[in-house]
Amino acid sequence: MTNGFQQPKLLWKPSRPEETQMAKFKSFIERRYHLKLANYDALWKWSVENYPEFWASVWEYCGVKASVPYTEVVERDVSMDNIPKWFKGARLNFAENLLARRDDHIALIGAGEGHLYVQYTYKQTYERVRACAAALRRHGVRAGDRIAGYLPNCPETVIVFLAVTSLGAIWSSTSPDFGVTGVLERFSQVKPKILFSVNAVMYNGKAHDHLGKLREVAEGLESLEKVIIIPFVEQPFDATMIPKGETYKDFLITDDGRDIIFEQLPFYHPLVILYSSGTTGKPKCIVHSAGGILIQHLKEHVIHGDLSEDDVFFYYTTTGWMMWNWLVSGLVAGATLVLYDGSPFKPTPARLLDLIDELKITVFGTSAKYIQSLQEAKVTPIKSHNLSTLRTIYSTGSPLKPESFDYVYTQIKEDVLLGSITGGTDIVSLFAGHNAALPVYRGEIQCRGLGMSVEAWDDAGKPVYDEPGDLICTKPFPVMPVYFWNDPENEKYRAAYFSRFEGVWYHGDFVLINSKTGGFHMLGRSDGTLNPGGVRFGSAELYNILDQFPQLADTLVVGQKRGADERVILFCKMADGHQFTPEFVESIKSTIKGLLSARHVPAVILPIADIPYTVNGKKVEVAVKRIISGETLIPSGTLANPESLKLYYNLPELK
């Protein structure tokens, strides 16, 4: 990128853009405000320049269900870093909006590894939510109480989540692959009243007992009044071995048969608590509002994504990742959700692709790493699968490489919207992403989201195009966190988002915005940005080159401070049957120099036995950067392989 930005190749364009919800919403805005908007870019500019009117229009267009109307869209006189309140005066319930349907249309399909498919209609889902909500209410759960889930991605989890939020209680979840330390680091901060979990999970073709970890977690949470155990795997278990434990069946006995009483609460009432990665410290507890998530996800699913009752929506995610929340919100469009828990590669690497044909999936969400894994495994779905129902593929978690775009369009399906999307736990949504009315260009995220005043800024705080910069959002948006838990003066909140540039949201991503297409290029995390000799570039630029070497199983690129300067360090995990040699090092250097520049060439290239990852599949660059700079870190519970960090201490080549 720093050698001069070149326009990417057009890979796909919609056949009938005028029929999309985006086109219809644009017409709605033009009629309502007597405008003529030339294209999406004009609509986006209007949406950020007139953001109160824009969000009011989303509310009306998407039909937010509220028992009391709002009196003010947003506190215009409150600065962004003071967290303005939205839709003041309104009273609503998140779960009520997701359960607006009560018919025989399929709402949930459970398709986990080792399980037969199960499905619930919207009517059946409502009834199960009703029973759980009644039991929660009889056990004293009220608005503001915290209820936690240590649960897999399955229909029962969605049902419990909707029951909890119907009461106005605050939901927080993590997945069974988290270790005891990682769970306690999170839940001990928010002090849940009730914990829901399972007896066991299936992964890689085997049943894994969960009760041992659950017992340790229950013993470590003094706030718990009950632990409810759902029989997820058919094997006998004794709920009484868990402190305050009882089965889900016994818990539901207290159902009194009454209809759901959806608590009517302010727009900004807390809905969920999510957690920062915690790879370099204790996880931050990020509190998101019911109304903020509702209206943002309506915009992203309905307007940007064209999601409707005709869709079958799948996302490969765990309950510990924000994409689970994003997936569940698909119910607000009346869609059918496919909930999968287990290995994506068992019994074959094409297992998730099989689901597309078996369940007629129309929208398929996954990670960039998964797409790369399919490519490396030489899976060719365009030959082996039908995929006739598939219209959209979503990718997130890390930057989607240009080569992965090529793979999707040549080896998966030619006529499909490949929506690379980016946002984060901090906003439980997207800053930039998909658009059913726009074309797809190689290596690009299609566009900035409507209402999201996103720019790339240089070090001087000036917007830049066609060159790298920090991702900044300059105006308020409804899904900003309402606060951090245990941060009464918002000190941690402001330090996280408003300390880099005054009065604007600094997200910590390093990006490039294409001035011609409006597309986004993700270049890595700002705190992992490389800066040798004052030349800034993202690690993604190097990974795109390094992935072309079959000798490499994996790599990690970080910066190491050297006085006032920084040098680039490359760690190489060699593929089986290949040796780390001086000749190989030289081939890496010459390739990077030829394809990028001499400035991009790592100062030190070292072999390493393992690369650290989070449980969500993200490379852990910042922790390694701190270790090789002399710090000693306590491994976080979010690391999938925490023992790998030991490999990076006291390396003589880095002294």
The label of the residue with tokens 């690129």 reads 557
Range from 287-291, 319-323, 537-541, 582-586 carrying the lowest mean pLDDT: 537-541
Give the pLDDT score at 1.
Answer: 42
Mean pLDDT of 112-121: 94
Mean pLDDT of 190-217: 95
Range from 27-31, 47-51, 224-228, 279-283 carrying the lowest mean pLDDT: 279-283
- The alpha carbon dihedral of 462, 464, 469, 472 has a sign of positive
488, 412 Cβ separation under 8 angstroms: no
Residue 181's identity, in one-letter code, is T
Q: What's the pLDDT tens digit per position in 432-443?
A: 999 999 999 999
Q: What's the pLDDT tens digit per position in 325-342?
A: 999 999 999 999 999 999
Q: Which run of H or E residues covers position 214?
A: helix 211-220
Q: Is the pLDDT of residue 540 over 90?
A: no
Burial of residue 246 (CB within 10 Å: 0-12, 13-18, 19+) is middle
Question: What whole-number distance in Å separates Cα of residue 123 and Cα of residue 107?
Answer: 9
Residue 643's identity, in one-letter code, is E
Architecture of domain 530-654: 2-Layer Sandwich (3.30)
Q: Which two tokens stand for residue 384?
A: 């082996």
Mean pLDDT of 361-385: 95
Q: Is the pLDDT of residue 302 over 80?
A: yes
Give the pLDDT score at 633.
Answer: 84
Mean pLDDT of 445-450: 98
Residue 180 sits at φ, ψ, to 5 deg, of -60, -45
Give the pLDDT score at 541.
Answer: 83
628, 34 Cβ separation under 8 angstroms: no
pTM for the whole thing? 0.88
287, 313 Cβ separation under 8 angstroms: no
Range from 180-194, 284-298, 523-537, 617-631 carrying the lowest mean pLDDT: 523-537
What is the DSSP-derived secondary structure letter of residue 537? B
- Cβ partners under 8 Å of residue 184, min gap 6: 217, 220, 221, 637
Q: Is the pLDDT of residue 2 over 60?
A: no
Range from 215-219, 395-399, 502-506 carrying the lowest mean pLDDT: 395-399
Q: What's the pLDDT tens digit per position in 615-635?
A: 878 899 989 998 998 888 877
Task: Share the mean pLDDT of the chain.
Answer: 94
Give the pLDDT score at 596.
Answer: 83
Beta strands in 175-244 (DSSP E): 194-198, 200-203, 206-209, 226-230
Mean pLDDT of 508-520: 93
Split at pLDDT 50, 70, 90, the class of 279 is: low
